[in-house]
Chains A and B, each alone.
Chain A
């Protein structure tokens, strides 16, 4: 089985800063968390994957074909991305924003139903008739997440890229949405790549961790207790393990 996504030695320059090389492979249905300190280049890596940034060197294959050979509309049927900030002008209604995820599908007859289900999955079904500009930060994030869900709703084996999807949400919603995303990706065999700040969320919900620091990939390791020393090095902190009966082990950061 061919890999979903293959990156070989991607490099790029942003101003005077050189980033990369990034080399990784993503298999279908995998769940990967990108971790690293602020400003390390996590978003750059995600933007390379989503096509927002083009590398100056290196190759990017998607489903066995070079990325440049993909027509945009076809690519949008297998790759969706949630940027960290995405404002919408003109106060479009939330349901229209979600519908725009499926704009490149001709004759899309089920769209009404899909929008409702996608909104329910990202806990924003009560916001559908609100103008996007009247929503709070967390509500906007949920609407955009619903847009991603709608985009790949009836596809299989795609790639979902999310940049800090949980940043402006309360703890209850964080848990709910993370499980929605997992369930959504699992049902459709989509690979899920997410930038996260919470080490515990990453360890509990993702199978693989990609560590980024100073514009480079520091590691590509399976998630779990054995990853703790690498994570300590990555963030420059001490991580204590806390074991509570009936729960997966938690890590607790402390200054070194």
Chain B
């Protein structure tokens, strides 16, 4: 099946090399913005010097700005990937983990975790505590995925409107539970909660980057095989079965990946909307509908998009920081309306 893609190994290597180079330049470019000035010397000394002789700006670059930039790229890529997988899964260019309530489900589970479980005073070892949020978020996300899959297919199979309406209902439900949690929360819990409903990348650090790196390696290892087969989703369930693909198993695995990726993003950055919607649609407009291109391209575009949004968010009102979710929504909501317009034939 390799003959549609950049034809040769050489072509593939070239594409990977160029995107890597692009990202290096982009990281350098975005590192220029911020409260502390970073110059080329700081970058050079990062490579040559060891830790002890760091100046102030080098410290900022290594401990704050670089992890922040890399984190934005990684989370953007995760959101783009989960958006592309969701759209492929539901055969629907309007599907997005945010719009369908998957992110809200994750945030809702986290809110329940913060407020209700905290009151139960369960004693956990310190190193487990770190994993409570992501695990809760994953279960929240995956529950919503399963509900969506069941309800939307059961009520209105293959209908865009049915899927989006189910998403609205689930979003409302999650919002209600989050609202209830805010009402019950103490002051400190409330501060934590606001973070999840707004979406911000300010929690970035090297450890999280390593964690998401591991997640990407696992995803690459599994999805490499699935991406090729994912194109059959476009043919619909019955034809997919005729050509010999066990679609329910495939669907289950993709669903778990969507939940893992959105759960991870939500548990560390809160709800950042619309990246998962925009990136795959741009990718499709750019390279066509073939999932083998759309999926890597969505990761690429998601990373770039969130990096730009976050660079704006953290530099616009120095020394304060605007939640990045506001920028992605400002960009995404009009885009969503345009998208609705172009798919109005399928909706009605």
Residues of A within 8 A of B (CB): 50-52, 72-77, 79-81, 83, 86-93, 95-97, 99-104, 108, 111-112, 131, 147, 151
Please, how many angstroms separate the alpha-carbon atoms of A104 and B250 in the complex? 13
Within the assembled complex, what's the spacing in Å between the Cα atoms of A225 and B121? 86
Contacting pair B235 A86 (CB below 8 A): yes
> What are 28 pairs between A and B in contact, CB < 8 Å?
A50-B238, A52-B238, A72-B241, A72-B246, A74-B244, A75-B244, A76-B243, A76-B244, A83-B238, A83-B239, A88-B236, A89-B92, A89-B233, A90-B93, A91-B284, A92-B234, A93-B289, A93-B290, A96-B4, A96-B290, A100-B243, A103-B228, A103-B232, A103-B243, A103-B244, A103-B245, A131-B288, A147-B243
Cross-chain contact B231 with A92 (CB below 8 angstroms): yes
- Rounded to whole Å, the gap between the CB of A30 and the closest CB of chain B is 20
- Could you tell me the distance in whole angstroms from the C-beta of B324 to the nearest C-beta in chain A? 29
**Distance in angstroms between the alpha carbons of A79 and B243 in the assembled complex:** 9
Q: Which of A72, A81, A90, A112 contacts B245, CB < 8 Å?
A: A72
* A92-B290, A103-B229 given; A97·B246 CB < 8 A: no
Interface residues on B, range: 20 to 34
On whether A89 and B4 interact (CB within 8 A), knowing A76-B243, A104-B245, the answer reads no
**B47, CB-defined interface residue at 8 Å:** no
Extra contacts besides A92-B231, A92-B289 (7): CB < 8 Å:
A52-B238, A79-B242, A86-B235, A89-B93, A90-B234, A91-B289, A151-B243
The chain A residue sitting closest to B91, CB to CB, is A89
Q: Report the minimum CB–CB distance from B240 to chain A (whole Å).
A: 8
Give the residues in chain B near A91, CB-CB below 8 Å: 284, 288-289
Q: Min CB distance, B124 to chain A, in Å? A: 44
- B1 contacts the other chain (Cβ, under 8 Å)? yes
Task: Tell me the minimal C-beta distance from A63 to chain B in angstroms.
Answer: 15
Query: Which residues of chain B are near A76, meaning CB under 8 Å?
Result: 242-244
Is B3 interfacial (CB-CB < 8 Å)?
A: yes
* Smallest CB separation, B87 vs chain A (Å): 8
Contacts of A92 in B (CB 8 A): 231, 234, 288-290
Across the interface, which residues of B come within 8 angstroms of A80, CB to CB? 242
By the criterion CB–CB under 8 Å, are A101 and B243 in contact? yes
